[in-house]
Structure 1
Amino acid sequence: MKNKYNEKHIINDQIKYAQIRLIDVLGNQLGIYSSEEAFFIAQQEGLDLVLISSKSEPPVCKITDYGKYRFSQEKKAREAKKKQHQASIKEVKMRYKIEEHDYKVRLNQALRFLKSGDKVKVTVVFKGREIQHVNLAINLLNKMSKDLYNFCDIQQAPLKDGKNMIMVLSPQKK
């Protein structure tokens, strides 16, 4: 019998193992059977034989309705995808001679990004001849990393990049 569904799963007579471990509809282990015997048992019940795991020895197959099995697998995949959080990089820009209040605003922005699970790229921008004050920018970035010490790990230490000084912070692993 040809697999009338998609080719992701191996079902029914496509299973070509000498011996398989068989599980019934309720999840009980029935024992070890030849794949032909298991397929015959599944046909007797009007259900499909689905290969669950080919990595174990012997491979595990389950007697189930393939349509329902496929639906439950897709549903699990959708649920897992919902729970994933794609960490993106958010940027906080400032100048090396930033005022204290403005610094606190940038600090709170970075903290909010880190708490939501995003990485933060902290950039100090230089204009014109300000590039000669690299040490002040490094001090400012180090101050920010110390202020956020409990919430982040330094992924990239302060680094000069053209007319910018960049540091990347990632959320702390729990």
Structure 2
Amino acid sequence: MIKNEKIKAAEVQLTGLNGEDLGVMSTQEALLLAKQHKVDLVCLSLMTSPPPCKLIGAGAAKVEAQQAKKKASKSPDKRKVKEIRLNLAMEDHDRDTKQSQAERILKKGDSVKLVIQVHGAKEGVAGKEWAEQLSKSLAEFGSKTTGVQVSGKQVVVQLDPNA
């Protein structure tokens, strides 16, 4: 976080204490304004010209940065991918158990990767059909992110939870 005298830009796009737009002004003017109000001048981004800056109460900038960091750690990109291994020779009860396990994982907010073990081309077709059937029955909890992939000895499909 760049603040006060560390801001090297000649001009800044300034936002006031209450979120009002104060327009483009020289960095020196913005610093004087910050000192008058006894607050910090904080640069929000260096990617634009002039960089957007904001007047923030002393100490509040640090708290705001900590909150942003905390919120970023809870982002949906941190989803776990749980793998469930299946076999075509499984009994119906075991299939139901694995399906309910996948439902629980999707409800919790994690992704599910269904891996069906197959042997040969004929079983590959049956495995693909079963994967399609499973993804349809889990449609209310999650949607396919990848198509059903048949490769050698396994059929794989990944489901992400519905938002």
Give the TM-score of the pair, scaled to structure 1. Answer: 0.70
Separation in structure 2 between the aligned mates of residue 101 and residue 87 of structure 1, nearest angstrom: 29
RMSD: 3.0
Q: 1:35 to 1:152 in 2, by over 3 A?
A: closer
Q: Which residue of 2 aligns with 1:155?
A: 146
How many positions carry a matched residue from both structures?
161
1:116-135 equivalences under 5 Å are: 116-125=108-117, 131=120, 133-134=122-123, 135=125
Question: CA contact under 8 A between 2:110 and 2:161: conserved in structure 1?
Answer: no
Identity of aligned residues (%): 26
Deviations 1:38-60 (A, max 9, x none): 22232334333222344555433
C-alpha contact (below 8 Å) 2:38/2:58 kept by paired residues: no
Question: Partner letter of residue 63 of structure 2?
Answer: F
Equivalent position of 2:11 in the other structure: 19
Question: What is the CA–CA distance in structure 2 between the aligned matches of 1:156 and 1:87, rounded to whole Å?
Answer: 19
Q: Which runs of 5+ in 2 are unaligned?
A: none
Computing the radius of gyration from Cα coordinates, the structure with the larger value is 1
Q: Is the 8 A contact 1:158 1:167 kept in 2?
A: yes
Matches within 5 A, 1:26-65: 26-55=18-47, 58-65=50-57
Could you give the per-residue CA deviations for residues 4-50 of structure 1, whole angstroms, max 9, x where no partner exists? xxxx31x2233333333433333334444322222223233433322
- 1:116 is matched by which residue type in structure 2? K
Deviation string, structure 1 residues 83-122 (Cα, Å, up to 9, x no partner): 5462222222232122222221122112222333333222
Q: 1:102 aligns with which of 86, 89, 94?
A: 94
Q: What is residue 166 of structure 1 aligned with on the other side?
A: 155
